[in-house]
Structure 1
């Protein structure tokens, strides 16, 4: 996103409502969103080091907050790690932070980026859009919430296949129209 007047949290909410929940890309997102258990954090970090510090703070905050108040956190960071390869490299530091805080098995970090690209895919492959968001995002999740959601879903492995089929039908142009509100 290059629009300096854009509200990153509003655009992230729009993406979550229209794409993630609207297309059912994540069948677990709707319940926590409706119950207002998603914390949105707009990072002002301009360096990976500052973002890592904020990530650690948010990991501890999520650990210390009851799940019925905040079940998951989205750290939207529009001013750092715009380059996907830099972002992807940073994810190793994010995992190291989870370990350093002794939170492995308790919290995890999922990733979304405007130029997300799975290994072995072309940049314009529509399957990449399952992890594309308007801004780079670190998604903090509770392991027990993920386990409960997966256990309640009849066949969680089919989610990825269904998402790719949905995006194949929609196409890149349809994705762009969806997010533009057309």
Structure 2
């Protein structure tokens, strides 16, 4: 894991703690944060096909790893544009 990847994951963990858990945006988040059952995965590739493959890989991981409750797939770059991101989500 690169320093940048580690920093991105730590920033996302902090965001989950300080926004999602603190303001109870997701009623299930606190328990999973406390259990450390959230997997954070950074999509470093900017190509939609590669990101979608990583999403499938994460789904497989969830199927085979019962101690992981959920995965947050983090897209730090490459899909900043609103329509770029929507096109990815649409696929």
Higher relative CO (CA 8 A, sep ≥ 6), structure 1 or 2?
2
1:22 aligns with 2:52: no
- Which of residues 79, 82, 89 in structure 1 aligns to 2:80? 82
Give the Cα separation in 1 of the matches to 2:36 and 2:43. 20
State the shift of 1:80 in Å. 2.2
Structure 2 unaligned spans of 5+: none
Q: Which has the higher helix share?
A: 2
Number of residue-to-residue matches in the alignment: 87
Under a length normalisation based on structure 2, what TM-score does the superposition of the two structures give? 0.86
CA RMSD of aligned residues (A): 1.6
Tell me the secondary structure at the aligned position of residue 41 of structure 1.
strand
Structure 1 unaligned spans of 5+: 94-182
For residue 10 of structure 2, what is the aligned residue in structure 1? 10
Bigger Cα Rg: 1
Give the Cα separation in 1 of the matches to 2:65 and 2:79. 28
Under a length normalisation based on structure 1, what TM-score does the superposition of the two structures give? 0.45
Where in structure 1 do 4 or more consecutive aligned residues deviate above 6 Å? Answer: none
State the shift of 1:62 in Å. 0.9
